[in-house]
Structure 1
Amino acid sequence: MTTEVRLLGPPQIARNGELLGGPRGYKAWGLLAFLALAERPPSRQRLVSMLFEHADDPRGALRWNLAEMRRALGGQVSVGRDPLTFAAQPGVSIDVVSLADHGPARLNGVPHGELLEGLSFDDSPAFDIWLSVERQRLAADCRALAYRWSVELLANGQPDAAARIAGQAVESDRLNTDLHAVLITSLMRCGDEAGAQAHLARCTDLYRRELEADLPAAVARAAASAPGEPSASAAVVRSLLDLADASLSAGTAATGIGQLRRAVAVVDDADHQLSGRARLALASALIHASGGRGSDVTTLLHQALVRAHRGGDAAIGAAACRELGFLAVQAGHRAEVEHWLGLAEAWCPTDAESARILGVRGMSLSDSGEYQDALTVLDASVELARRSGHKRQAAWSKTMIGRLRLLRGEPAQAALVLDEALQDIRADRWTAFTPFPQAMRAEAAVALGDAQTAHELLDYAWVQTTESGDQCWVAAVAHAQAVLALHEGHDALAWCRTGLAAAPWYLWLRARLLDLTAGLTLGTQQGMDLLDELEHLAGGATMRELTVRALIHRSRIEGPQRLAHAHSMAIDIANPALTAELDRAG
């Protein structure tokens, strides 16, 4: 007997394909969704305060709704104790839980629908806020999942299926440049050039009407069919790869990327190892040397992964999955991060690669406000990097530890580890990465009252940032400049606007700037617009602390009820600085 629970779209329960009535009362549906999605068991009191605080017998109302939920599921779930544990029997499938485990063939298309669609919880504001955040997150997860499926199908030589998935997904995400690019590429690979050109024309009109903008370059490139080049010998390809490595190490990114493009163009695809290596090298260079994102980069990584499977190359397979996980961190897709990093670890990587994987996971956990887990993972990354002689990875992971310490209001500890990272970076002449740890170290200096050190660090970092043109570093250094300006009583808003104008592709950096800017413009229309964007961005990307900070801002305008909701959402975030901020707001 199989029981399928659908929480995306109008909620329903089906047993062996036959629809059942479902639990009586919309709050039983709310309980089911909350328990199914909870990362850790919630206390009974938390559920009472979220859903039943106005009932005559709040705990009795909780018990009745839990019993109703169990009855509707035929007793196939167990719920009990305090905190409340929730476990479904093997025959029960809940769509929001198993979403990432399903493939496009099984789901017969793109997952869609709003969480608990049609249900309203206006009489339970705390739950309503939770539901709003989860709806944003799951909508973002569904979009990311559809994109991943379409690129995987395209890389595996199934352009028809890729076009179908991308076409379905783009209907509900009309301005998603990556989906448009994948759809057009898929149509071209199917031989449907007329269909590709027709969609290109629709895109051109759409972007002009909706955004008053030109067609994105990635979409235009997807419709251009480049002439193929004859294959070159393996020696030629290896020579190009070595030349590119030297060019990238010397800081001449454009030259190195050009050499890698030539290597990908002429490599014999029958040589799975070399073909995969060339594609991985080009994708990594585009990501880390020129801020490459979008379907062209992800397609290269998926192609590298296909070749890793064909050739049994664990090094390429683990690295391609880790890079896909890194892109998911920057885009704020937590479910995709766990999917790709889990696959990377399944390749049984070396210590050096494991250090990189743990570094990306620690970054993701920190973005989500899971600071203790992040610290454990990042410490392990540093140790593996040290053991394997990977100095740059050690410096990178130390920088992430320094960032975590800074966010937790521990500036002295942040300064110590960031100084270590900067020393390692200087010793290895890793100039390209320097602005980020310098920005974090400058903010720690401001918190310690050392404005002179902050000025020296930021003067240096800003020159490097503007010369490189890296959007993410612009946002990070501009935030630090704004913090210093606030400390000295100068204009911080100008720096905030500079950082936001850079449009960093790492969404956590943008959300953090939105938090600072919204606080400085509170009470104005600009402040409200920024706050709306912060809530949407942080909710969709599982940035729990920044979601709480948005609620703190709201409480200063709309009253203490918002602050109560902020306290409820912050209950699992181990951050003394956030706790202090909540206390000050109260």
Structure 2
Amino acid sequence: MTVVRLLGPPHLVGSAPPPGRGRKPWALLALLLCSTGPVPRSRVIDLLFPDAADPQAALRWTLSQARRAVGDAVRIGGDPLGREVADGVHVDVLDVLAGRAPVGWPLGEATLPLLEGAEPDVAEFGVWLHGRRRDLAVAGARLQRTHRARRFSPAGRGAVRDLVRIGEQVMDAGAARDGTAILAGAVRRARALGDDAVLAEALAHYGRGYVHAVASTDPGAAAALREADRLATRDGLADVAALARRELGFVATATGDQAGARRQLDRADAAAAGRPEAEAGVAYGRGFALVDTLASAGAVAELDRAVALTEAADRPRAAAAAYAMRGRARLQRDEDEQAADDVARARALVAELDWTPLRPWVEFLHGEVLLRAGRAAEAETVFADARTLAEVLDDACWIALTGRGLASARARRGDPAGAAAALRGTRDTLVAAADVCCWIELHIRDALCAVTAAFDEPAAFAESRVLADRAERAGLGEFAVRAARHRARLGDRDAAREQQARAGRYDNPALLRT
């Protein structure tokens, strides 16, 4: 039996292929094995060879050494780079991430640091490694608890609610997976307690935390929200019902189910009636759902209401989120000055609150504002810093958005081909990652159309058609108008007429611009 060990000092157990040389081959293996899908070669180069004179050659050499290190146990290759574990081979990090009992390695080593003593001296990879070590340590501890059959102690209502509060505090500090693990523990204890009111609260907060910070389309989190709604509705818990329904609306929006989002938000509105804080949350959800649809101005109006309600209720976190989302809506409408004001307010609140998880999002928006003002170099710096933080937080949505921002800045600074390659890498990774909001994918495809048009018209045409198709299926028709505009700018007269005809159905004047 062959076992690939990456927890602790990396090595192979049960086989003796010729040894690879250096630390970067093991780092490359760790990157591929700990990722949910193929990794673009450009991303590997950014993390492992940012200063190499010939990064492509450095990557080829490292690939050859990685293959020597594991022999036939793990096959790696392709573009983007993928990996395939051979039959009968076990990998410690895959066991930990899947939550399954170790095979061929001791359970007691499930919490050893990834690549212990074999870390390459590259700052960019160090940031990625820090985040992965944190996630694996949490998953390893959970695996040990599960397979040692340790029972949790009984808890009363107050203790369960304390766990919910602590879990949310941990999430607010930027440790999403740690926080959701605590919230999951609160759900388990609430079930053991047999108190449906407390269980509904725990389920709603767990579901909200998970879909916002870990995976927006996770079926387990959505099921928790549906159960919370059912219990809260039955027991007359209006605040909990409003929260669960609002978050189910968010999930529907994230997955492109606009009709489902409207239904859930209407139900949330009914439960929130007369409760300003809950009404603010529903208004925010509606604003988020309406951006990029037929009702762009309606999105701004809903977010106006969310801002007013959160400020009146003295809820600065909710206000920061509402300002940021209104800034996004205004950027889509080319209302740049108003968007800049919203983003500045959101940034000020996030800094005052030291709210780490929201910072990549508001900094991405700040970078967009800078790009609109022609300050590409400053924007690139802002995007790069936001990307680093997004990677530490391991937030797929923020990683994708900041990658789009970096590529857009790169194009503005005279490298459209390099920007397009980076966008294609981000796009391809997104297609494999089911937990990224669909509107983010469309934003990346939109940017790719614009960048590619500068040097590869056939590719831009092809990408614009994919953009239009996916926009229609997701119910985000503004992107279909933008796709037609891309083709019109490339000389397609039919597309120019299509753009004007489509844009006339929307209340966004930015879509009429040629």
TM-score (structure 2 length as normaliser) = 0.65
Do the aligned partners of 1:341 and 1:361 also contact (CA within 8 Å) in 2? yes
Cα shift at 1:556: 5.2
Structure 2: gaps spanning 5 or more residues? 1-81, 86-93, 100-145
Do the aligned partners of 1:552 and 1:563 also contact (CA within 8 Å) in 2? yes
Do the aligned partners of 1:443 and 1:483 also contact (CA within 8 Å) in 2? no
Distance in 2, matches of 1:340 and 1:418, equals 28
Distance in 2, matches of 1:549 and 1:469, equals 30
Do the aligned partners of 1:279 and 1:301 also contact (CA within 8 Å) in 2? yes
Aligned to 2:501: 568
Residue 578 and residue 286 in structure 1: after superposition, are their counterparts in 2 closer, same or farther (change >3 A)? Answer: same
Do the aligned partners of 1:276 and 1:308 also contact (CA within 8 Å) in 2? yes
Do the aligned partners of 2:255 and 2:474 also contact (CA within 8 Å) in 1? yes
Residue 565 and residue 212 in structure 1: after superposition, are their counterparts in 2 closer, same or farther (change >3 A)? Answer: farther
Q: Which amino acid aligns with 1:543?
A: L
SS of equivalent residue, structure 1 residue 512: helix
CA offset digits 1:519-555 (Å, max 9, x no partner)? 3335566445433321221001121221012122334
Cα shift at 1:429: 1.1
Structure 1: gaps spanning 5 or more residues? 1-210, 582-586
CA offset digits 1:401-429 (Å, max 9, x no partner)? 21122222232222122111100111111
CA offset digits 1:86-125 (Å, max 9, x no partner)? xxxxxxxxxxxxxxxxxxxxxxxxxxxxxxxxxxxxxxxx
Q: 2:422 aligns with which of 495, 508, 527?
A: 495
CA offset digits 1:477-523 (Å, max 9, x no partner)? 12222222222212321332343244161111111111121233355
Do the aligned partners of 1:474 and 1:502 also contact (CA within 8 Å) in 2? no
Distance in 2, matches of 1:292 and 1:280, equals 14
Cα shift at 1:389: 0.9
Aligned to 1:304: 228
Do the aligned partners of 2:324 and 2:346 also contact (CA within 8 Å) in 1? yes
- Paired positions, count: 366
Distance in 2, matches of 1:543 and 1:293, equals 18
Cα shift at 1:316: 0.6
Residue 509 and residue 245 in structure 1: after superposition, are their counterparts in 2 closer, same or farther (change >3 A)? Answer: closer
TM-score (structure 1 length as normaliser) = 0.58
Distance in 2, matches of 1:571 and 1:249, equals 42
Q: Which amino acid aligns with 1:286?
A: Y
Distance in 1, matches of 2:158 and 2:480, equals 53
Distance in 1, matches of 2:384 and 2:488, equals 36
Do the aligned partners of 2:168 and 2:209 also contact (CA within 8 Å) in 1? no
Q: 1:521 aligns with which of 428, 452, 457?
A: 452
Distance in 2, matches of 1:242 and 1:258, equals 13
Do the aligned partners of 1:231 and 1:267 also contact (CA within 8 Å) in 2? no
Distance in 2, matches of 1:376 and 1:556, equals 32
Q: Which amino acid aligns with 2:495?
A: R
Structure 2 residue 191 is matched with structure 1 residue 260? no
Q: Which amino acid aligns with 2:475?
A: T
Residue 485 and residue 354 in structure 1: after superposition, are their counterparts in 2 closer, same or farther (change >3 A)? Answer: same
Q: Which amino acid aligns with 1:317?
A: A
Distance in 2, matches of 1:213 and 1:354, equals 49
Aligned to 2:311: 386
Q: 2:340 aligns with which of 410, 415, 424?
A: 415
Q: Which amino acid aligns with 2:465?
A: D
Could you say which structure has the greater relative contact order, defined with CA pairs below 8 angstroms and 6 or more residues apart?
2
Aligned to 1:541: 474
Distance in 1, matches of 2:479 and 2:162, equals 47
Distance in 2, matches of 1:473 and 1:492, equals 18
Q: Which amino acid aligns with 1:519?
A: A
Q: Which amino acid aligns with 2:161?
A: R
Residue 463 and residue 316 in structure 1: after superposition, are their counterparts in 2 closer, same or farther (change >3 A)? Answer: same
SS of equivalent residue, structure 1 residue 367: coil
Aligned to 1:178: none
SS of equivalent residue, structure 1 residue 449: coil
Cα shift at 1:232: 4.2
Cα shift at 1:241: 2.4
CA offset digits 1:129-173 (Å, max 9, x no partner)? xxxxxxxxxxxxxxxxxxxxxxxxxxxxxxxxxxxxxxxxxxxxx
Do the aligned partners of 2:250 and 2:261 also contact (CA within 8 Å) in 1? yes
Residue 246 and residue 437 in structure 1: after superposition, are their counterparts in 2 closer, same or farther (change >3 A)? Answer: closer
Matches within 5 A, 1:413-452: 413-452=338-377
Identity %: 26
Matches within 5 A, 1:471-510: 471-490=396-415, 491-503=418-430, 505-510=436-441
Do the aligned partners of 1:471 and 1:502 also contact (CA within 8 Å) in 2? no
Distance in 2, matches of 1:435 and 1:419, equals 14
Structure 2 residue 157 is matched with structure 1 residue 234? yes
